[in-house]
Chains A and B, each alone.
Chain A
Amino acid sequence: MTRYPRWKFFLLVAVLAVCGLYAMPNLYPDAPAIQITSAQAGGEVDERAMSRLRSALDDAGIVYSDAERVGTSWLLPLSDSEAQQRARELAQRTLGRDYVVAQNLAPTTPDWLRRINASPMNLGLDLRGGVHFLLQVDMDTAIEQRLESWVSEMRLLLRDENIRYRDVTHEGQTITARFDSSADLDAANSRVRDQFRGFNISRDNDNNALVLNLSNEEIAKIQDYAVDQNRTALNNRVNELGVAEPVVQRQGADRIVVQLPGVQDASQARRILGRTATLEFRLVADDVDPRRAASGIAPPGTEIYPFKRDDRNPVILRRQNIVTGDQVTNATMGFDENGQPEVNISLNSAGARNMQRVTSRNINKPMGVLFIETRTDIEHITNEDGEREQRATTTREAYVINVANIRDTLGSRFRITGLDSPAEAGELALLLRAGGLAAPIYIAEERSVGPSLGADNIKAGLNSMMLGLALVLVFMVLRYKVFGVIANIALVGNLVILVGVMSMIPGATLTLPGIAGIVLTVGMAVDANVLIFERIRQEMKWNNLPPLQAIEAGYGRAFQTILDANITTLIVAVILFAAGTGSVQGFAVTLFIGIVSSMFTAIVGTRAMVDLIYGGRQRAPTALSI
């Protein structure tokens, strides 16, 4: 038997030491904590607010550890989850609406481990509890909305250019503009081509019409814009919810994944995420007899909207908006002099300019605040082929929440009243702040796991791993004696490497199937050693090789087989990762890392140990404990 090369020993020790070090943070369980973040995006948490909070907690007798800064927010670890619950309520009361207080977990990793960037494994939602939403962006509506605005743009363009047209309509992804004469068509043609570059434009000379077909690139652009804008809006809303470490990510062409770890009230999350509300400020058409509203037929240039409370008559508003919700930069809830809830609104410069221009010319005239809510419902239908299909229907609900006389020129800051309750005012402020959605969304998939089940899952995973490991360890010693002990040390080393690598990769997440992957690895990892040891036995008994040559032959000949056998499982792990979703991907990750590290420990690791035990002797051993 040749001496085992020294560098392999060093490699082995180095890998084990590094992985062991990075696996260590997992030994320190996370502590329940509250996380305090400024309600203003990017805002800092005031030191005075923190000291106010500390004294409030001291007064209430809640025990806490040193607060720690994480990015722009503070984490305050507490003794247990009951204290966490109480501290959260107390903190929200003490700090008020300027701060968002969320429940979170604080790592208790010691400083010397943090200094080398070691942190525990990320836990999936099925282990820590939380909500996972897959939201579908309704693209048909997004395109429809965009086309509608193009139709009005086209009408505006034609009017500005003094080109007479019969009508401009849209259907599907096509806009058709019809003209009375071919001369008008000619005039329109060049102007429209200049302005509507996202369309494939063709002339229909028979009908004196211009046909604009939305190009595929433009459709892709609309989709990208709708999804990205929705993602941003959802991100803002999620931040408002006060969730620690939320995930808002685009998935595929038209979906958005939202993950809210630790959220217990899924219904609140769902309400905030799914709603699309916006405000429009419009002048009341005061030159029209208000009684005409009852007839339901709006004069040209106006629209009739119901008033929010049934006891008042519908209102006739002008079509043009003064300001829309997307020009709102900030909205906060407050109370007026009479203790009635109100929403204080700040506008951006474009909105403020418009507001100023219109209100200065219309002093003492009434202005209405129109509230528009879009809700998307899913309907299940069976199509003519007998296949199930889901179709999203969007309902738009609009009503006037407030009509008031313009007493003065309004600028960038003003307020709206007429809200029923502080809760309603709060929600409206939140929705205005968080921004509207560019297109309706609906929930395509939801998975929420309560915190109790998450904790149970961790326990179940750990227990099955312990039992599985114990059974395998005992079995190996019974079967292979000293060599079994060697294989067992390698197996434990394999687990250390697996946990260390999982903790080092920032994107790797441990899920319940992921734990199953680790458990399975424990059972399958010894296979390499079984192969080697069985070979050694055979070489000794069948071919009468002396022990050291048998060891040599056993390791040498088994290597190719082990590689062959493990590559198949590696291929499967890669496929699972590519095709699977969340928790199944967790399984693929642990399986993959486990197989690779098991090949390393079972071949390099056990060989080194065998060499230490049998290789260094003066006289070659005559028998092996195998």
Chain B
Amino acid sequence: MAIATPETNVNFMRVAKPLGILSIVLVLASIFLLATKGLNFGLDFTGGTVVEVGAPEDISLSVVREALSEGGYDAAVVQHFGSSRDVMVRIPPGESDEPDQAGLEVFELIGGVVPDLDLRRVEFVGPQVGDELRDQSGLAMLMAMGLMLLYVWFRFTNKFGVATVAALLHDVIVVLGLFALFQWSFDLTVLAAVLALIGYSLNDSIVVADHIRDDFRNSRMTDPTDIINQALNRTLSRTVITSLTTLLVLVALYLFGGEIMRGFSMALMAGVVVGTYSSIYVASNVLMLMNVHKEDFLVPQQEELDEMP
């Protein structure tokens, strides 16, 4: 099985410019989508009630909708969840006078028209808790990025720091943009996925950056483009293989992890693909933009930390 043999010599940098422009377009489009359509925040962040019910037979959505609107829940969103025997009802906050009672009321209303109904899940999040979770999550995301920035800054020269963080921002923004474009529900588990993605994306970029740095120090080549190109080629198989194994488990999670893990696996799958691309192109493009050259590495202040495991 050959993914990239040592002889592989793709001239990555030949298409660096057009892809750099593509990245910029992607990021701008994502920001535009986030600003206009926004994220479709899930229950965790908006507050409200979600009820999941199941029955041995298929459940007709129109029957459920009718029962709910007769019960006064006109704004309830009713959809199948996973299979046609499972139904998820989402009640926006403020729809009910006693929001913390809404879950049971909905269950009883549906139970009146669907026989042998099984209450699988009720989640009620008060608006105050929802707002708090949103603030807390935003803070967590900023904190994660901030700490990554600190870490990279501490470990690498300035130019590499900027390059890896650019790749990181690129990945997070494009994945969020994807969630805005398709209006996939963004809840706490998706947020966890985005944070995991921050770690993963940086992991990828660091490995590539490490190699580029080594090559700048040790290679006889002088042209930065050639050096970066060689480093990219040498890390290519690792980058691709790790992304592949990660994608394999994510596909497994997507297929079998149930409806609740779907958003999570989706975010990470998109993130791994975008992250792989960005660790090849975004970081290197930013490095080229900043005119990286051999002199940046002439003073190897870093002692050889290579320890024997």
Contact = CB atoms under 8 A, between A and B. Distances in A.
Interface of A: 126, 134, 136, 266-267, 270, 377-378, 380, 388-390, 442-450, 452-453, 456-457, 460-461, 463-469, 471-472, 475-476, 478-479, 512-513, 515-516, 519-520, 522-524, 526-527, 530-531, 534, 537-538, 541-542, 555-557, 559-561, 564-573, 575-576, 578-581, 583-584, 587-588, 591, 603-604, 607
A118 B218 CA distance: 52
Contacts of A270: 100
Contacts of B234: 538
11 contacts: A380-B99, A446-B100, A447-B121, A450-B121, A464-B257, A467-B256, A524-B245, A556-B306, A568-B198, A570-B199, A571-B148
Nearest to A266: B122
Contacts of A443: 100, 124, 126
B283 interface: no
Given A446-B103, A572-B144, A576-B192, A566 B203 contact: yes
A444 B129 contact: yes
B307 interface: yes
Contacts of A464: 249, 252-253, 255-257, 261
A479 B1 CA distance: 5
A444 B253 contact: no
Interface residues of B, number: 81
Scoring A134, A377, A584 by chain B CB atoms within 10 A of each residue's CB, the highest score goes to A584
B98 A378 contact: yes
A575 B123 contact: no
A531 B238 contact: yes
A73 to B, nearest CB: 28
3 tightest CB-CB pairs across the interface, nearest first? A468-B249, A523-B249, A579-B140
Interface in B237-262: 237-238, 241-242, 244-253, 255-258, 260-261
B249 A520 contact: yes
Nearest to B309: A603
Given A516-B253, A571-B144, A564 B188 contact: no
A605 B265 CA distance: 29
Interface of B: 1, 3, 6, 52, 54, 93-94, 97-100, 103-104, 118-129, 131, 133, 136-137, 139-140, 143-144, 147-148, 151, 155, 188-189, 191-192, 195-196, 198-200, 202-204, 206-207, 210, 234, 237-238, 241-242, 244-253, 255-258, 260-261, 264-265, 268, 305-309
Nearest to B150: A571
B308 A564 contact: no
Contact of B306 (A450, A472, A560, A570): A560
Scoring A463, A513, A523 by chain B CB atoms within 10 A of each residue's CB, the highest score goes to A523
Scoring B120, B151, B198, B309 by chain A CB atoms within 10 A of each residue's CB, the highest score goes to B309
Contacts of A583: 188-189
Nearest to A572: B199
A17 to B, nearest CB: 21
Contact of A449 (B120, B139, B249): B120
Contacts of A530: 238, 241-242, 245
Contacts of B129: 134, 444-445
Contacts of B253: 464, 468, 516, 519-520
Contact of B123 (A447, A463, A565): A447
A531 B256 CA distance: 29
A585 B225 CA distance: 43
Contact of A581 (B188, B210, B306): B188
Contact of A526 (B119, B128, B242, B268): B242
Contact of B258 (A456, A472, A564, A570): A456
Contacts of A472: 245, 248-249
B2 to A, nearest CB: 9
B124 A568 contact: no
A588 B309 CA distance: 26
A519 B309 contact: no
Chain A interface main SS type: helix
A443 B247 CA distance: 40
A452 B144 contact: no
Scoring B131, B268, B306 by chain A CB atoms within 10 A of each residue's CB, the highest score goes to B306
Given A542-B6, A579-B140, A448 B121 contact: yes
B94 A380 contact: yes
Given A448-B122, A468-B253, A561-B206, A390 B241 contact: no
Given A388-B93, A534-B238, A557-B306, A576 B245 contact: no
B6 A537 contact: yes
A611 to B, nearest CB: 12
Contacts of A460: 256-258, 261
Given A555-B308, A580-B192, A452 B246 contact: no
A557 B106 CA distance: 60
B253 to A, nearest CB: 5
Scoring A443, A575, A576 by chain B CB atoms within 10 A of each residue's CB, the highest score goes to A575
Given A136-B126, A524-B200, 8 more contacts: A444-B129, A475-B245, A520-B249, A568-B206, A575-B144, A583-B188, A588-B192, A604-B309
B126 A444 contact: yes
Contacts of A475: 244-245, 248
Contacts of B151: 567-568, 571
A555 B3 CA distance: 21
A471 B94 contact: no
B9 to A, nearest CB: 12
A442 B100 contact: yes
B256 A463 contact: yes
A512 B245 contact: no
B194 to A, nearest CB: 10
Contact of A390 (B122, B128, B258, B264): B128
Given A442-B100, A530-B242, A380 B93 contact: yes
Contact of A538 (B6, B52, B98, B265): B6
Contact of A523 (B119, B238, B248): B248
Given A449-B121, A526-B242, A565-B203, A572 B195 contact: yes
Contact of A516 (B98, B122, B198, B264): B264
Nearest to B242: A527
A3 to B, nearest CB: 12
A584 B188 contact: yes
A374 B253 CA distance: 47
B1 A468 contact: no
Contact of B147 (A446, A515, A555, A571): A571
A443 B103 CA distance: 13
A499 to B, nearest CB: 17
B109 to A, nearest CB: 14
Contacts of B265: 516
A606 to B, nearest CB: 10
Contacts of A556: 306-309
A225 B148 CA distance: 41
B83 to A, nearest CB: 11
Nearest to A566: B203
Contact of A452 (B118, B126, B305): B118
